[in-house]
C-alpha cells in the first residue's frame, strides 16, 4: 500500500498543538493595515484554533 501524501499547502498553514488541536493564522493581516486599530492588529498576530466543523477536513489534508 502506498504512503499517504500530505497536502503541502495545508502543511504550511496548519500546525498541531500539544493537546491535538489545530493552530492557524488569522486572516486580514497582509495589507491595508493603516485603517485598522492597534488592538485589532495585535489580536491578528496571535494564532487561532481551527473550528470543529472544519477540523476533520484539515486533519485529512494533513494526514493526521
Helices (H), 1-64: 8-13, 38-45, 52-62
- Decide if 10 contacts 63 (C-beta within 8 A): no
Question: For cell 498576530, what's the residue?
Answer: 45
Walk along the chain (64 residues) and give the pLDDT tens digit of each residue.
Answer: 898 999 999 999 999 999 999 999 999 999 999 999 999 999 999 999 999 999 999 999 999 8
Q: For residues 4 and 34, give the distance between their C-alpha atoms in angstroms, rounded to a whole number.
A: 43
User: By residue range, what is the domain housing residue 56?
Assistant: 8-62
The pTM assigned to this predicted structure is 0.81
| 51 is a domain residue | yes
Please list, in sequence order, all residues whose beta carbon lies within 8 angstroms of the beta carbon of residue 1, skipping any fewer than 6 positions away: none
Asked if residue 1 belongs to a domain, the reply is: no
Total tally of structural domains belonging to the chain:
1
In a domain, 47, yes or no: yes
Q: What is the CATH number of the domain that holds 32?
A: 4.10.410.60
Amino acid at each position: 500500500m502506498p504512503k499517504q501524501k500530505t497536502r503541502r499547502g495545508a502543511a504550511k498553514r496548519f500546525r498541531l498543538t500539544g493537546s491535538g488541536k489545530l493552530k492557524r493564522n488569522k486572516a486580514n493581516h497582509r495589507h491595508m493595515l493603516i485603517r485598522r486599530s492597534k488592538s485589532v492588529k495585535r489580536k491578528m498576530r496571535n494564532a487561532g484554533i481551527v473550528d470543529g466543523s472544519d477540523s476533520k477536513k484539515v486533519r485529512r489534508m494533513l494526514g493526521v
